[in-house]
Amino acid sequence: MHVHLPKPLHGWRAFVGEVGIIVIGVLIALGAEQVVEGAHWRGEVATFRLSVDSEVALDLGTAEYRMKENGCVERRLDELQAWLQSWRDGRPLKLAGPIGIPTSQSPNTSVWGSRSADVVAHMPPEVTFAYADLYDEFSNNDVHRLDERAAWLELSEFDGATGLDHRDLMRLQGLITRARLRDQRLTQNALNYLKKAADMGIRPRWAPTWPPPEPALCSPILPVGDEAGRIG
């Protein structure tokens, strides 16, 4: 028994042509959809990167803001070391003003934290890594910033002190050393990630709402010269 296939109404050649047109149409539609989707995600990634770049620039600004105080911080720690030594020598000096505390700003992470898996999936891997590396740097340096603030808050407890025993002197030395270490780490780390960001084309920016640094930190607190500033 022979099976006879039905013949197309207009012949096989016309049928194949019609199928080809349909296939080509489907392929064109799929290609157009991919083009539209690609353009959509390029736009989403570009918008997200603009927001992240702005946030990173602000975080770089917080590092630059703190480093502007480096000179005053170092001088104050040198003064405190000299004050401590005056007690060890039995000729204690009297502080002429408040010790002060370095002013610092916390880093921002909300934009980077809001990233979606879809946006990240459409970003070049090296770009994603570069951003993640910067935010890891910010997080690490904020540990130093917070401990620096804690050390200076403890140092401020010595404001107006007129009697220090051995325990006080040991504690004061520990705080001076701790504050100096944190100052060095903050600066070294910041210089490192400022360079990384610069390589990505991102520069620091300052928020207009940031207060000016504490002026008391830059005012001398030790008497100059003679016995006028001695205790006892």
Q: What is the pLDDT of residue 214?
A: 78
Q: What is the pLDDT of residue 101?
A: 94
Side-chain-side CA neighbours of residue 2 (13 Å) = 3
Phi, psi of 159 (to 5 degrees): -55, 130
Tokens (6 digits) for 224 = 């100059």
Q: Quick check: 4 pLDDT over 90?
A: no
In a domain, 88, yes or no: yes
Residue 36's pLDDT band, with cuts at 50, 70 and 90, is: low
In a domain, 7, yes or no: no
Radius of gyration of the chain (CA): 33
Buried b (16+ CB within 10 A) or exposed e, 170-179: ebbeebbebb
Residue 212's pLDDT band, with cuts at 50, 70 and 90, is: confident
Q: What is the pLDDT of residues 121-141, one digit of tens each?
A: 999 999 999 999 999 999 999
Q: What is the pLDDT of residues 153-207, one digit of tens each?
A: 999 999 989 899 999 999 999 999 999 999 999 999 999 999 999 999 999 999 9
The residue among 180 and 12 whose pLDDT is bigger is: 180
Q: What is the pLDDT of residue 216?
A: 85
Q: What is the pLDDT of residues 73-126, one digit of tens each?
A: 999 999 999 999 999 999 999 999 999 999 999 999 999 999 999 999 999 999
Q: What is the pLDDT of residue 213?
A: 82
In a domain, 2, yes or no: no
User: Picking from 6-20, 100-114, 212-226, which range would have the lowest pLDDT averaged per residue?
Assistant: 6-20
Average pLDDT, the chain: 87
In a domain, 218, yes or no: yes
Q: What is the pLDDT of residue 21?
A: 72
16-33 mean pLDDT: 64
Task: Please state, in angstroms and rounded to a whole number, the distance separating the CA atoms of residues 160 and 172.
Answer: 14
User: Picking from 31-35, 77-81, 100-104, 228-232, which range would have the lowest pLDDT averaged per residue?
Assistant: 31-35
Nearest residue to 69 via CA among 219, 180, 218, 211: 218
Please, which residues have CB within 8 angstroms of residue 127's CB and are 6 or more apart in sequence?
49
Residues 55 and 112: beta-carbon distance below 8 Å: yes
In a domain, 90, yes or no: yes
In a domain, 1, yes or no: no
Q: Write the DSSP symbol of residue 99.
A: -
Number of domains in the chain: 1
In a domain, 4, yes or no: no
Q: What is the pLDDT of residue 152?
A: 97
Residue 5's pLDDT band, with cuts at 50, 70 and 90, is: low
**Range(s) of the domain holding residue 174:** 12-229
Q: Quick check: 8 pLDDT over 70?
A: no
In a domain, 3, yes or no: no
Phi, psi of 230 (to 5 degrees): -80, 150
HEC string of 126-189 equals: HHHHHHHHHHHHHHHHHHHHHHHHHHHHHHHHHCCCCCCCHHHHHHHHHHHHHHHHHHHHHHHH
Residues 146 and 202: beta-carbon distance below 8 Å: no
pTM of the model: 0.80
Q: What is the pLDDT of residue 183?
A: 97
Tokens (6 digits) for 85 = 């030594």
Task: Please state, in angstroms and rounded to a whole number, the distance separating the CA atoms of residues 191 and 65.
Answer: 12
Q: What is the pLDDT of residue 172?
A: 98
